[in-house]
Amino acid sequence: MTTATTPDVWIYVEHLRGAVAPHTYELLGKGRELAAALGGRLIAVLPGHGSRPLAGTLGAADAVVLVEDERLASFSAEAHGAVLAALAAGGMPHLLLCGATSAGIDLAAHLAGALGAPMVVNARALAVDGGTVIATSQLCGGKLLCELEVAPGTIVTALAGAFPADAGMSTREPQVETAEAPEALRQIRTAVTRLLEPSAGDVDITRAGVLVAVGRGIQRKENLPLAEELATLLGGAVCASRPVIDQGWLPLSRQVGKSGLAVKPGLYLALGISGASEHVEGMKDAALIVAVNSDPQAPIFEVAHYGVVGDLFEVVPPLIEALKGRRAQAA
Ligand code: FAD
């Protein structure tokens, strides 16, 4: 266990193919607030290869620590973890924030094991109270929340969408400090050979402002154009519950829920979705949830702001006609 800690907050900068992951800006925004309250600096740690241009986008940090090496070009918990471990040997920060993403979770767990550091997962709120960091962590897929005092020197993974990204974006030119690649990189046993792309050109449902979500109630693949037409008229995209994806009617990149993506649109229109907890976990933070379901007892109505008890094949067509009518009037 690393004993000496500083009041600083470190953010692990996640990046892929020359772009910083949007979630990193959420961490930077929250990190700024926490570092100020702890009386420390906000440091963005950026391991990579040819990644210097990315540092210019991290102006919310007091400093960017850039570690360049060709073995750091692609993410691996072992390689990027070696960088953070070497930096931590000079003093562990009060908090090290990583995204609760596949890379962030992998890295945080690897590092916590390597350093013997405590770890808090799935934080959805972080605050400083009298010098102590308090985290609200989400457990059991969101069924339980746990509030805990975070010891100095803790690694925290934070949920995507938990903090506003705006606060972490700055046009300020950050101070860039270059650090040597650690010796430990020589002993790395894993190497990324190839990145497997998700289906090309698909919609990123995590960025859509309006989502029309279809569940098993859509019945057949041939009925999907109904949802697609509605989504187009609303300026949004179609996503789905797991059974629709499992049938192969839509790609995995459209799945919402525990084993899919977490979304936070302005409007989530759920058509023929029962509202199983594994689905709700991925959409409950939408600003406005409207559900159409023929079963008045469907659990989706417990999270919906507005509900229509009815057959979606009777509800949606008139809605489409009404939207078309409005569009024609506006033209
Ligand atoms: P159903 O539960 O079958 O519900 C269909 C609904 O449609 C019903 O409520 C019915 O009343 C309604 N309906 C039927 N016909 C009509 C009609 N004509 N008009 C209006 N309403 C109609 N699920 C996910 O969605 N995402 C996940 O990421 C996910 N991950 C999982 C991970 C694990 C480990 C496990 C165990 C399960 C996971 N699931 C996930 C599955 C989840 O438990 C549910 O089985 C699934 O969400 C149900 O999908 P559904 O609501 O579309 O189908």
Dump pLDDT digits (tens) for 39-65: 999 999 999 999 999 999 999 999 999
Q: Which atom of ligand 1 is nearest to the CA of 295?
A: 11
d(CA 18, CA 57): 11
pLDDT of the residue at 143: 67
The answer, yes or no, to whether any atom of ligand 1 lies below 6 A from the CB of 294, is yes
> 276 C-alpha vs ligand 1 centroid, how far in Å?
6
Q: Measuring CA to CA, which residue among 61, 85, 79 is closest to residue 9?
A: 61
Residue 142's pLDDT band (boundaries 50, 70, 90)?
low
pLDDT of the residue at 3: 57
Least confident segment among 2-6, 74-78, 156-160, 281-285: 2-6
> 67 C-alpha vs ligand 1 centroid, how far in Å?
45
Q: Which atom of ligand 1 is nearest to the CA of 240?
A: 25
- Average pLDDT score over residue span 136-161: 88
Report the interhelical angle of 102-115 vs 77-88 (nearest 10°): 50
d(CA 132, CA 150): 7
The answer, yes or no, to whether any atom of ligand 1 lies below 6 A from the CB of 255, is yes
pLDDT of the residue at 224: 98
Pocket test for ligand 1, best of 294, 300, 303, 316 (most atoms within 8 A of CB): 294
Question: In this structure, are residues 46 and 64 in contact, taking their beta carbons and an 8 Å threshold?
Answer: yes
Q: Measuring CA to CA, which residue among 327, 282, 318 is closest to residue 300?
A: 282
Residue 259's pLDDT band (boundaries 50, 70, 90)?
confident
pLDDT of the residue at 133: 97
pLDDT of the residue at 319: 97
User: Does pLDDT of 141 surpass 70?
Assistant: no
pTM: 0.68
Q: Which atom of ligand 1 is nearest to the CA of 298?
A: 9
Cα separation values, 273 from 73, 126, 237, 267, 279, Å: 41, 33, 16, 15, 9
> 107 C-alpha vs ligand 1 centroid, how far in Å?
32
* pLDDT tens, residue by residue, 278-306: 899 899 999 999 999 999 999 999 999 99
Question: In this structure, are residues 227 and 218 in contact, taking their beta carbons and an 8 Å threshold?
Answer: yes
Pocket test for ligand 1, best of 205, 273, 319 (most atoms within 8 A of CB): 273
212 φ/ψ angles, rounded to the nearest 5 degrees: -105, 110
Question: In this structure, are residues 120 and 154 in contact, taking their beta carbons and an 8 Å threshold?
Answer: yes
> 275 C-alpha vs ligand 1 centroid, how far in Å?
6
Strand, helix or coil at 136?
strand
d(CA 65, CA 182): 13
pLDDT of the residue at 30: 98
> 157 C-alpha vs ligand 1 centroid, how far in Å?
29
> 182 C-alpha vs ligand 1 centroid, how far in Å?
48
Least confident segment among 73-87, 135-149, 243-257: 135-149
Sign (positive or negative) of CA dihedral 65, 30, 254, 227: negative
Residue 4's pLDDT band (boundaries 50, 70, 90)?
confident
pLDDT of the residue at 325: 93
The answer, yes or no, to whether any atom of ligand 1 lies below 6 A from the CB of 258, is yes
